[in-house]
Amino acid sequence: MRTDVAIIGGGPSGLLLSQLLMREGISTVVLERRPRDHVLSRIRAGVLEWGTVDLLDRAGVGERMHREGLPHDGCYLTSGGRMIHIDFAEACGRRVMVYGQTEITRDLYAAQDAMGATILHGVEDVALHDLTGEAPFITFRHDGTTHRLDCRQIAGCDGFHGASRQAIPVEVRREFEKVYPFGWLGILSETPPACHELIYANHDRGFALASMRNPQLSRYYIQVPLTDRIEDWSDEAFWTELKRRLPAEVAGRMETGPSIEKSIAPLRSFVSEPMQWGQLFLCGDAAHIVPPTGAKGLNLAASDVFYLSRALIARYRSGDGSLLDRYGQDALARVWQAMRFSWSMTMMLHRFPDQAEFDRRMQLIELEGLARSPVARRALAENYTGLPY
């Protein structure tokens, strides 16, 4: 097998990169470990920066998103029952779109199928070879047979546990990590959202988030210890605790119902440098993980795809490799900005096991600053809606 760009990972970043490249006549092959049904069952992010919206439009997959997605012009932060509104339109003239990652992946699969893309599922034993040479290639097993895929570049879109990052020599990689001492217990319920905009709640009992996927599908989270298990939390216990952490006016009107999905996700901040090694280019979770507090995970993957697709298109159109040579530098500049924002939101809104009273007061003062200062609200809005590429 031979292609221009081999893409390891068939999630949204790998599919989006393939879509953008194929529309420019650049051939791709996508290798994915999981079956398609499994990829489409993942319940993940739902808040899109407008730069991500524009990129999906450019890829030709934005029609259903604009028809069914929910544009949001703000969000709420709460403290002690007080609702602090962050008006994105007023603060920075931008907005976000609520549209689930599962739906984005579904749209991308449909577009890729229509273009006749080569996407292999159930791929195992992926190994990357000759990355610093002129002819990189990948070996893998598929349907019980060993295959070789020759290419000109490799995009590693295979997540935190994938093979791509591990192919960069350990003496070259530099990894930065912060593991947070709690997780998010989340449920999906077929109920109307508690509010027309997202609510991020700082409470003495811990963080909570009221979000949504559409007008009849809500997504809620509460902060829990890492020792908790899903079976420790009945639906009734979850709803009771969530209502305790939200302002009374919101909790009083909230509609509850059976959960259709329940999970606990640990939180970490992680960056691996460099994001390129020879002809290997990392995208998304293969290179970085952010806590979900700032809604940056999928959006950072999309910005990586923006920089990499732009660089590859320039390379194949005109032979100009300058953007490809600095892909990692360009991507990481934005990654670290988003990393700082997600970390700051996490530190401001959660209760930490060893938190001193001083630390708690600092959280409350920061929230008070957001309530009082248009400048503080603008800074939050600019970061939340997405810094420019």
Domain containing residue 157: CATH number: 3.50.50.60
Examine the domain organization and report whether 219 and 278 are in the same domain.
no
Q: Which domain holds residue 130?
A: 5-72+95-177+268-347
Q: Look at residue 276 and tell me if it is in a domain.
A: yes
Q: Name the helix (H) or strand (E) containing 222.
A: strand 217-224
Choosing from 203, 288, 296, 350, the catalytic residue is 296
Examine the domain organization and report whether 201 and 302 are in the same domain.
no
* Annotation says 221 is catalytic: no
* Annotation says 292 is catalytic: yes
* Annotation says 266 is catalytic: no
- Domains held by the chain: number: 2
Choosing from 109, 307, 327, 384, the catalytic residue is 384
Question: Do the Cβ atoms of 225 and 206 come closer than 8 Å?
Answer: no
Residue listed under structure tokens 């996490």 = 346
Please state, in angstroms and rounded to a whole number, the distance separating the CA atoms of residues 314 and 304: 16
Question: Do the Cβ atoms of 28 and 56 come closer than 8 Å?
Answer: no
Number of other residues whose CB lies within 10 A of the CB of residue 105: 22
Choosing from 72, 203, 288, 350, the catalytic residue is 72
Q: Look at residue 87 and tell me if it is in a domain.
A: no
| pLDDT value of residue 46 | 86
Burial 173-207 (b: 16+ CB within 10 A, else e): eeeeeeebebbbbbbbbebbbbbebbbbbbbeebb
In the sheet where 5-8 sits, what is the strand order?
Answer: 118-121, 28-32, 5-8, 153-156, 280-282, 276-277
| pLDDT value of residue 42 | 78
Task: For 304-315, give the secondary structure using H, E and C.
Answer: HHHHHHHHHHHH
* Annotation says 296 is catalytic: yes
Choosing from 76, 180, 200, 220, the catalytic residue is 200
Please state, in angstroms and rounded to a whole number, the distance separating the CA atoms of residues 241 and 249: 15
Q: Which two tokens stand for residue 285?
A: 């979770």
Q: Look at residue 85 and tell me if it is in a domain.
A: no
What CATH code is carried by the domain that includes residue 378? 3.30.9.10
Q: Look at residue 321 and tell me if it is in a domain.
A: yes
In order along its 389 residues, the chain shows pLDDT tens digits of 999 999 999 999 999 999 999 999 999 999 999 999 999 987 777 899 999 999 999 999 999 999 999 999 999 999 988 999 999 999 999 999 999 999 999 999 999 999 999 999 999 999 999 999 989 999 999 999 999 999 999 999 999 999 999 999 999 999 999 999 999 999 999 999 999 999 999 999 999 999 998 899 999 999 999 999 999 999 999 999 999 999 999 999 999 999 999 999 999 999 999 999 999 999 999 999 999 999 999 999 999 999 999 999 999 999 999 999 999 999 999 999 999 999 999 999 999 999 999 999 999 999 999 999 999 999 999 999 999 99
Choosing from 193, 203, 292, 350, the catalytic residue is 292
Please state, in angstroms and rounded to a whole number, the distance separating the CA atoms of residues 200 and 178: 22
